[in-house]
Amino acid sequence: MASSRIPLYRVKGTHYECAHTIGELTRESIRHRIADDLPYLTPLFAFVQTEYGQKLHRDFLETTRSLYPWYWDELRGLADGSAIPFEQLLVLNFLNETRTAYRLLEEKKQLENETGEKGCTTVLINRKDTNTLSLLHNEDHSTALYMTGYLVEADIQSSKYDDGKRESPKEKFIAYCYAGGIPGNAFGVNKHGFACTLNGLYPNFVAHGRLPRQIINRALLSVKNEEELDKLIHASPAAYGFCINGGFIHQCNYLLNYEIGPNLNIDNENYISKCRIINNEDNLEKKDDDEYSTAFNYLIHYNHYERLDKVINQQKALQSSHSRWKRGQELGEIFNSKDAICLLGDYENEAFPIFRSSNQSDVKSRTLCTIHINFLTKELILYQHNPKENNEPSLTYNLADLFV
């Protein structure tokens, strides 16, 4: 059973219907999130009322309606069901793009809060020597989301669009959601066995007229295989940066990590760096036309570009991400999930801990939960507390239930 702090909602219907139901169920949670984060959100709400802010969001929506009209329906359904002003919900869903555009417009070096301080930490393990194939992840964000996040198990039917010329994908997945946001930008697993977690990345620019990361991240919950995943990433022009960590449970040879960001030199193109996490005993042949790197046994990712850092101009205020990376280096090699949990539960650096709690100096950011997706046992294990100190899970979800 999910804990009372992180409820599990089950919804079924069209994209609009499912989102409308979630809006009704989480209406008070969205209001609480906005109220608790009001000092931070107020200038962004004001910014999107300006001519520049309106155009920024209008262009995002036009691209979304053109490429993924079914996720436009989810935004509408969430707004209608929750009775929250649509403009405010767009800020919550397009948060990274909105705050960066606002900061650049104000010509500030950084916002009051360091950009990236709410970012997540992910560990991918693929080892034969310890028989471990797992994805572990700290979901970190604003303290306002600590009591308002939730899990959703959605069974979404296909619908016709563009006078029957297009159909939305039939989807079934479990995902963690922020109050006021559509699914996708935290972690999730779909019926095709694709499991992923997301990390925010922070270019020092926003690509106007492209897709906000929330929309691309939402589309990830429909992919069937690696070829489709690669195609989606290349065909979806990103307005901002993010990192995908994941793999296909039915294909257990390797895990995947992608760093993605907008390429401003070519219209609607992305910079993409793909990495496969293989184990030392693999004889995985790399084809000449494959553009990917490899990591052996494990990979840890934070909130800064590590492979695209030479081509994407990152924001300078990423001290939390670099501090967590440094601490990860100190903790050494990851052999199994226990090692990963020791890293994810670490708070040695009081200023920039890997696991963030209410007892630390940064009261604006929290670790909302920690998850372990075990590809071998086909389980999603969720901890609402620090698993290094208390390894009793709040939820153990049998992923095989999604695959039927």
User: CB 204: neighbour CB atoms within 10 A?
Assistant: 15
pLDDT of residue 287 exceeding 70: no
More confident: 118 or 52: 52
| Average pLDDT of every residue of the chain | 93
Closest to 68 measured CA to CA, from 170, 211, 238: 211
pLDDT band, residue 291 (cuts 50/70/90):
confident
CA 53 to chain CA centroid, Å, is: 24
Q: Are 91 and 41 in contact (CB under 8 A)?
A: yes
Q: Tell me, what's the pLDDT at 117? A: 54
Contact in structure between 77 and 17 (CB atoms under 8 Å): yes
pLDDT tens digits, one per residue of 154-184? 999 999 999 999 999 999 999 999 999 999 9
- pLDDT per position as a tens digit, 317-362: 789 999 999 999 999 999 999 999 999 999 999 999 999 998 765 5
CA dist 241 and 251 (Å) reads: 27
How far is the C-alpha of 366 from the C-alpha of 345, rounded, in Å? 12
pLDDT band at 211; cut points 50, 70, 90 = very high
Query: What's the pLDDT score for residue 320?
Result: 92
1-403: CATH topology: Penicillin V Acylase; Chain A (3.60.60)
